Structure 1
Amino acid sequence: MKDKTLVFGASLNPDRYSNLAINRLVANNKKVVAYGLRGGTVAGVTIETELVNFNDIDTVALYMNPLRQKPFYNDILSLNPKRVIFNPGTENPEFYSLLQEKNIHFEASCTLVLLSTNQY
């Protein structure tokens, strides 16, 4: 499994979409790492509360509103992911521009839908 997804804005709350995404990514045999405000474990994935040295990130699945994203722009850009998925509620034209400058693909989409339709 070379393609690794970073769930950015992960939550321990099973009702949150980031939590559902971690569970579905794991169920689909995807390599997953996670960053969130509160640490813990979801589906065997440790949610880091500090930006550890995430490496070999293929996809960043954002689950953080645009105002909360801003302090993390450089951190996400430094990962040099192949793509960033802006899940519903995370759409951010300002960040789109920064990603375009670095030639990083982005899409306003839903990780859960992409997985369920085999488009992930």
Structure 2
Amino acid sequence: MKKTTLVFGASLKPERYSNLAINRLINNGFTVKAFGMKKGEVAGITINTELMPYKDIGTVTLYINPERQKGYYDYIIALKPNRVIFNPGTENPEFYNLLKQNNIHFEVACTLVLLSTGQY
């Protein structure tokens, strides 16, 4: 499985789960890319505010609500990730169906829990 994870909805605020996820992914040896609303850096990872044409994304882990996800469906599908993780609060049956149609696996789970239990 490709080891690069795109944290989608990354935050500069240390108390946010997306920020914690970036740090824990790095600590677990994953390559991390990040997209967010505010440009900056977390654990040496640049948070991009523009959609980048990444290659070899294994996992997209979502930290934006379902309503905001709609504008990014095509982009995320075009990345052809192995899977998309819907963290708590990001659950979106409409997007699940689109991912299924494009043969992209998805999980309704918590990235932080998956990492801490060795299931990531």
Fold shared by both chains (TM-score > 0.5) = yes
Please give the residue correspondences for 1:31-46 in structure 2 after superposition, counting only pairs within 5 Å: 31-46=31-46
**Equivalence for 2:49:** 49
Runs of 4+ aligned residues of structure 1 deviating over 6 Å after TM superposition are none
**Matched residue, 2:22:** 22
The aligned runs of 1:1-120 (5 Å cut-off) are 2-120=2-120
Question: Deviation at 1:118?
Answer: 0.3
Other structure's SS at 2:24 match:
helix
Unaligned runs of 5+ in 1: none
Sequence identity, in percent? 67
May I ask how many residue pairs the two structures share in their alignment? Answer: 120
Q: Under a length normalisation based on structure 2, what TM-score does the superposition of the two structures give?
A: 0.98
Separation of aligned partners in 2, 1:85 and 1:6:
10
After superposition, the C-alpha distances for 1:15-36 in whole angstroms (9 at most, x for unaligned) are 1100000000001111000000
What is the Cα-based RMSD across aligned positions, in Å?
Answer: 1.1
Q: Is 1:2–1:31's contact at 8 Å kept on the other side of the alignment?
A: no
Determine if contact 1:84/1:106 at 8 Å carries over to the other structure. Answer: yes
Aligned equivalents of 2:2, 2:84: Cα separation in 1: 17
Counterpart residue identity of residue 55, structure 2 = N
User: Does the 8 A contact of 2:61 with 2:87 survive in 1?
Assistant: yes
Whether contact under 8 Å (1:88, 1:110) holds in the other structure is yes
Look up the SS of the partner of 2:115 in the other structure: helix
State the distance in 1 between where 2:18 and 2:49 align: 15
Query: What is the CA–CA distance in structure 2 between the aligned matches of 1:2 and 1:108, rounded to whole Å?
Result: 19
What TM-score results when the alignment is normalised by the length of structure 1?
A: 0.98
Letter in 2 for 1:44: G
Output the amino acid matched with 1:57: I
Give the Cα–Cα distance (whole angstroms) in 2 for the partners of residues 54 and 87 of structure 1: 21
Structure 2 counterpart of 1:27, which letter? Answer: N
How far does residue 55 in structure 1 lie from its aligned partner after superposition?
1.2
